Structure 1
Amino acid sequence: MSASYVGRCPDCGGWNTLIEETVTTTSSTSTKSQPRQTVSGNQVRPQKMNAVTATRERRITTNLKELNRVLGGGVVPGSLILIGGDPGIGKSTLLLQVSGQLAAEHGTVLYVSGEESASQIKLRADRLGVANSGMYLYPETDMPAIQQAIDDMHPDFVVIDSVQTMNVPDMNSAIGSVSQIREVTSELMRIAKSQGITIFVVGHVTKEGSIAGPKMLEHMVDTVLYFEGDMHHTYRILRSVKNRFGSTNEIGIFEMRNDGLQEVANPSEIFLEERMQGATGSAVVVSMEGTRPILVEIQALITPTLFGNAKRTSSGIDRNKASLIMAVLEKRADVMLQNQDAYLKATGGVRLDEPAIDLAVAMAIVSSYRDVEIAATDAFVGEIGLTGEVRRVNRIEDRVKEAAKLGFKRIFVPRNNLHGWDVPTDIDVVGVTSVSEALQKVFGRRS
């Protein structure tokens, strides 16, 4: 906020990002706030903790099991759900598909679009097979008109596509500005909580990949979902980054087809189906995405550097993590990488950031450096410390079962994870205490 025009924002450093807004002052006596009410209309009053009656929230399950998983079991009535993603990634397709099923089976749906006309939405609904579901379309951007339509219809579900196109006429600021988005979201939150209406909100993203508008937008809503993927490929990932009614970091995998989004029941097979046999620099890790174990191939390409400083490039893996693991390999395992360029990638478009991928990253790096392949039936799980030790990870039983289910014959895990659970008999579970021990068991002694 600045009292005068500034070409460059002093906070974020961006040029021409400040928008002029006229501040209107109102008398404090004329804008007396009303006491908050519950969905039943009762006034909220302070009460002791032991007097509060706590019941598990009701869930409405959709036909998309992947969406139910990401939401924590289904849609919670009266919740405000924000879905962000790149343009053209499939946000409107997903919500239109879900809206059709909810309108046909669970109640009245009002689909509010500020970007497309009713005829455009109808054409997409015909392609998705939900044109006869009974949902209501309302191409409007004026928030008072939308609120009036909600009061008249009393729908069970409302879709706002998108929040950046909605407008509050009383505010003297541009559509999509920070103050407009904040006011629109606040009004939608009031409607959801006071009337028990589930509201889905579409949010645009910036070039940096975050949802456009103030960070307060993500704090105000109940659930924040990111729809990710490459527009040049058919697979889409729906990722939960905030959920007041379930666990975060859950993901759902979809495939974009002509008739809409189709669920991918076993994403591990998708991520491994194009793995090349006999290739070096390839290792498989069993990563946990929320409560789901997923097998992902990690690829590494190690080549001698042509310049003074070695290059480190990664996709889907944190670059600092890759540099740290390479430093540990140099110091603790005598793998000289200081004059080698390193390129690392997590295949399938997934982003891996948990500590349990460290051992697989190290194995892929050494495999490429020594030009020795890793057995196609080997998988790896483990965190690597700075002293070269392989540290325990969580959910080891689920990881091992997932590897065994997909036909892997051997999995390397931290030795401290071998106790307290029943080890399956259809897979060889090898415990290791250090990265040097793991290298020796996988590659043998270097000739």
Structure 2
Amino acid sequence: MSVESETRTAGILQVPYALTTVGTWSLVFLAAFESLAVTTIMPIVTADLDGRGLYALAFSSTLAAGVVGMVAFGSWADRRGPAVPLLASVCIFALGLALAGTATAMPVFVAGRFLQGLGAGGETVALYVLVAAVYPAGLHIKIFGAFASAWVLPSLVGPFAAGLVADALSWHWVFLGVLVLVAVATVLVLPSLRGRDRARADRVPPSAADARRVAEAAVVSVSVVVLSSLGEFEPATAWLLVPVILLVIGVALRNLVPPGTLRIRRGLPATVAICGVAGGVFFGTEAFLPLLLHDRYGLPAWLSGVTLTAGAISWALASAVQSRLGDRLDPGTAIRVGAVLLAGGAIIEWATAVLHLPPAAATVGWFAAGAGMGTLYPRISTLVLALSATGEQGFNTAAKSITDAVGGSAALAVGGLLFTVLSFGGAFAFTSLLGVVVILIGLRVGRA
């Protein structure tokens, strides 16, 4: 069998990709698990370490570090290749796990969370560059569909498993146990890293532009943290700060995303931009949905969680469908279908809040929204790689992840302010409007 034929017929769980698939999927899963599990155990951690005053910082520091990690490691992977940057980012993530897992004081725990964010951000973009180097283009949609499931699965089992470990053993083992699993996953990836870095003569040294982008990423990350904290301000002050912070983010983002992204230029820029707006729709709606079900309908927390689980399940199912369809479905068509599902789901949540529809309607809407995200995200990742020139995969995938983080945080901040004035109807009207914007941007994705 020729190499070309073997590439065409082999799947991501067949030779020669099986170990790489299991290892990379596990690294993505463990990073996602950790980010979700911490939410469950944070009250226990802060009580044990007498650190309630640093509760919010333990979350925002991870987000801020992740943005910096995406830019710094994305640039490094483009200059050198994915092997060393991936191993370095995994080591930083592991160091953060060890530091948090052995912490006896809250500042040390926050430092561990910062390192986890830095490592996870770098790991994300380095893995994307590795995918471009290891897998043929025809398998990209399959591996990205698998990565999507690695993010969804922890939302189903992560909080429960973390609570169980914390109750049965100690919250420390939520971090230390993952540390052991990260080591195993890294071993599985090691064979695929051999020979993936550029030859010494082909490596590009860091430039002043690289340093500037890292500094701009730091500005974005700090601005995102401030934006996410506006709920602590007086409403009038918060509304005055929103446009200022968004302007600062926009200026700092210009060199962190492909040219034309902020203008939503057709092709790669629109493909990167749609990730941020879609993230704003989904995560901006998700934050208020459990509150609606609890306050308006009096549902217990576990029953409200069923609605969120419906979205997670449909996300995973839609990702699996995209993986199976592969190149048989045009990426642009898939993205437009996903945009309609996502926008429709957000609009159903708005209608539920405004028209006082039964809570089952919210579950149906969230199932649609999850299916939209599961359809969108694997296709966006595939398109970003397909539209990236050699040596730009790290920069462009980092840009996609940055817009995702910024879009979600901005939507949460603005939605929260609208919620204080107009309650659920205002917050969901905003995310529904963003959903319509996603549909419009979807018309501009793909090749220019």
Q: Tell me which interval the TM-score lies in, with the shorter structure as reference length.
A: under 0.3
Q: By percentage of residues, which structure has more helix?
A: 2
Task: Give the TM-score normalised by the residue count of structure 2.
Answer: 0.23
Task: Give the TM-score normalised by the residue count of structure 1.
Answer: 0.23
**Which of 1 and 2 has higher RCO (CA within 8 Å, sep 6+)?**
2
Between structure 1 and structure 2, the one with the greater Rg is 1
